[in-house]
């Protein structure tokens, strides 16, 4: 079975302009590296569709969509309540965002239908976008749209989201905060030290959804061992008990130690392990149905390597990964603190999960 990769050159329209940390050359750079390093028999590039209005409306308000569409045709006008200043609209941005949502939906459908159980949506993981506002370089929340589409259009009953982006997925978290059909596990840098400032361990969901949001904030510097501890001790047991029908993992290369916007400590090998372990979970609980969404990353040299490490992990593809930077700055892997965080999470979740009851 080949790996399906939903990608289009037109994604280059998702660009916030010169001087902004989020530029759109990332997509082509990743695809170029993929084509250089992976045998063409191992993957298939699938042309995504544009998300329809109906699909955007699964999560977003119609007046917000109309605003983005009108403003994206011209220049951004400041002072509008819909967007934070870090997410300035550019001509063509809204259209490209719809294509990225479409790529996520395309990948999810290919996985759900079993055509390619492991599928990748390039550019996805725009997890900061909310119902009626955009922030953190995200205008449409493709993760939330795809999960709701799986439930409403494909009949999915239990979906697990694993957010491994360095930043907490506040938009996604808010969307499913009271929904027990969606288990949201979010591993990120401590929100006291990084945008968006939410995603604390105490945020575990509300109402019927209590216990179905699992925030794992890690201290700056947390590296490969710390991530392995979280994945083995929390992700595996939770996934086994929840028994999702499909897993959506989002997050690019920004937990890497050389990322310029964050302070976590993963190596390329660590990113590959994250991919591999999430892939193992998917194989164990949902027939390998896994959608990988890669969009983030703020170190140009690391980004394509990091994305490749993540998406080749579940596929079991052998790949030599040479770090572009020396791993010398963060020798403290923060494993001891991470073990405490994991232990506290189990105690907190004990009332909702049998796997943590003893
Ligand atoms: Zn991020």
CATH code: domain of residue 52: 3.40.800.20
Q: How many domains does one find in the chain?
A: 1
Q: Which of 279-288, 297-306, 315-324 has the weakest average pLDDT?
A: 315-324
73 pLDDT band, cuts 50/70/90, is low
Q: Is the pLDDT of residue 331 over 70?
A: no
* C-alpha 354 – ligand 1 centre gap (Å): 32
pLDDT of residue 295 exceeding 70, the answer is yes
- The one-character DSSP state at 265 is -
Contact 221/81 with Cβ under 8 angstroms? no
Q: How many Cα neighbours within 13 Å face the side chain of 315?
A: 25
The alpha carbon of 254 and the centre of ligand 1 are apart by a number of angstroms equal to: 6
Q: Please tell me the predicted confidence (pLDDT) of residue 318.
A: 81
Confidence at residue 164, expressed as pLDDT on a 0 to 100 scale: 98
Residue 2 pLDDT: 77
> In this model, does residue 330 exceed pLDDT 60?
no
Average confidence (pLDDT) over 321-334: 75
For CA atoms 305, 252, 254, 56, the dihedral sign is positive
pLDDT on residue 329: 53
When the pLDDT of each residue in the chain is averaged and rounded to a whole number, the result is: 94
Q: How confident is the model at residue 89 (pLDDT cuts 50, 70, 90)?
A: confident
More confident residue, 75 or 89: 89
Residue 48: which residues within 8 A CB-CB, separation 6 or more? Answer: 6, 7, 8, 99, 102, 103, 105, 106, 107, 121
Judge contact between 162 and 119, C-beta under 8 A: no
Phi and psi (nearest 5°) for 297?
145, 130
Mean pLDDT over 264-287 rounds to: 97
Average pLDDT over residues 129-152: 97
CA distance 130 to 59: 8
For residue 59, is pLDDT > 80? Answer: yes
∠ at Cα 133 (130, 137), nearest 5°?
85
How far, in Å, from the CA of 346 to the mean position of ligand 1?
Answer: 25
Q: Is the pLDDT of residue 35 over 60?
A: yes
> How many angstroms from the chain centroid is the CA of residue 31?
18
Q: Which pLDDT does position 358 carry in this prediction?
A: 74
Which pair of structure tokens corresponds to residue 309?
């490490």
Instruction: Identify the CA nearest to 270 among candidates 312, 223, 331.
Output: 223
Q: Residues 127, 128, 130, 134: what is their CA dihedral angle, to the nearest 10 degrees? A: -130
Of 102, 120, 101, nearest to 2 by C-alpha is 120
Residue 327 has pLDDT above 80, yes or no: no
Domain of residue 67 covers 3-356
Peptide bond before residue 180 is cis, with ω within 30 degrees of 0: no
Q: Are 124 and 295 in contact (CB under 8 A)?
A: yes
Question: Which are the catalytic amino acids?
Answer: 128
| Joined tokens for residue 27 | 């997509």
Rounded to whole angstroms, the Cα distance separating 330 from 327 reads 7
Q: Between these two residues, 67 and 216, which has the higher pLDDT value?
A: 216
Is the sign of the CA dihedral 148, 154, 158, 162 positive or negative? negative
Residue-wise pLDDT for 198-235, tens only, equals 999 999 999 999 999 999 999 999 999 999 999 999 99
Distance CA 148, CA 349 (A): 25
* pLDDT reading at 85 higher than 70: yes
The pLDDT value given to residue 78: 47
Rounded to the nearest angstrom, the distance between the alpha carbon of 167 and the centre of ligand 1 is: 4
Residues near ion ligand 1 (Cβ under 5 Å)? 165-167, 254, 296
The rounded Å distance from CA 197 to ligand 1 centre is 12
Q: Which helix (H) or strand (E) holds 120?
A: strand 118-122
pLDDT over threshold 50, residue 79: no
């Amino acid at each position: 079975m080949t790996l399906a990769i939903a990608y289009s050159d037109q994604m280059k329209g998702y660009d916030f302009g010169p001087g902004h940390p989020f530029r759109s050359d990332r997509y082509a750079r990743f695809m170029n590296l993929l084509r250089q390093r992976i045998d063409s028999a191992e993957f298939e590039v699938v042309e995504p569709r544009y998300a329809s209005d109906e699909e955007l409306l699964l999560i977003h308000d119609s007046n917000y969509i109309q605003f983005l569409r009108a403003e994206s045709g011209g220049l951004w006008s400041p002072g509008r309540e819909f967007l934070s200043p870090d997410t300035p609209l550019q001509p063509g941005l809204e259209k490209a965002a719809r294509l990225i949502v479409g790529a996520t939906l395309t990948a999810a459908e290919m996985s759900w239908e079993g055509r390619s159980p492991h599928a990748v949506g390039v550019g996805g993981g725009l997890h900061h976008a909310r119902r009626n506002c955009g922030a953190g370089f995200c205008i449409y929340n493709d993760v939330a749209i795809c999960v709701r589409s799986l439930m409403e259009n494909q009949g999915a009953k239990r979906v697990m989201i694993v957010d491994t982006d360095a930043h907490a997925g506040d938009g996604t978290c808010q969307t499913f905060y009271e929904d027990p059909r969606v288990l949201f596990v979010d591993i990120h840098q401590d929100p006291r030290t990084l945008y968006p400032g939410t995603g604390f361990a105490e945020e575990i969901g509300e109402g019927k959804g209590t216990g179905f949001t699992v925030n794992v904030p890690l201290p700056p510097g947390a590296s490969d061992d710390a991530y392995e501890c979280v994945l083995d001790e929390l992700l595996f047991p939770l996934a086994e008990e929840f028994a999702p029908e499909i897993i959506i993992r989002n997050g690019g290369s920004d937990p890497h130690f050389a990322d310029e916007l964050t302070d976590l400590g993963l190596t390329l090998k660590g990113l590959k392990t994250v991919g591999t372990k999430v892939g193992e979970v998917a194989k164990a609980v949902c027939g390998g149905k896994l959608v990988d969404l890669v969009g983030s990353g703020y170190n140009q040299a690391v980004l394509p390597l990091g994305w490749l490490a993540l998406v080749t992990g579940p596929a079991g593809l052998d790949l030599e990964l040479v770090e572009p930077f020396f791993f010398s700055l963060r020798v403290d892997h923060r494993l001891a603190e991470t073990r405490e965080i994991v232990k506290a999470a189990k105690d907190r979740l004990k009332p909702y999960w049998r796997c943590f009851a003893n």
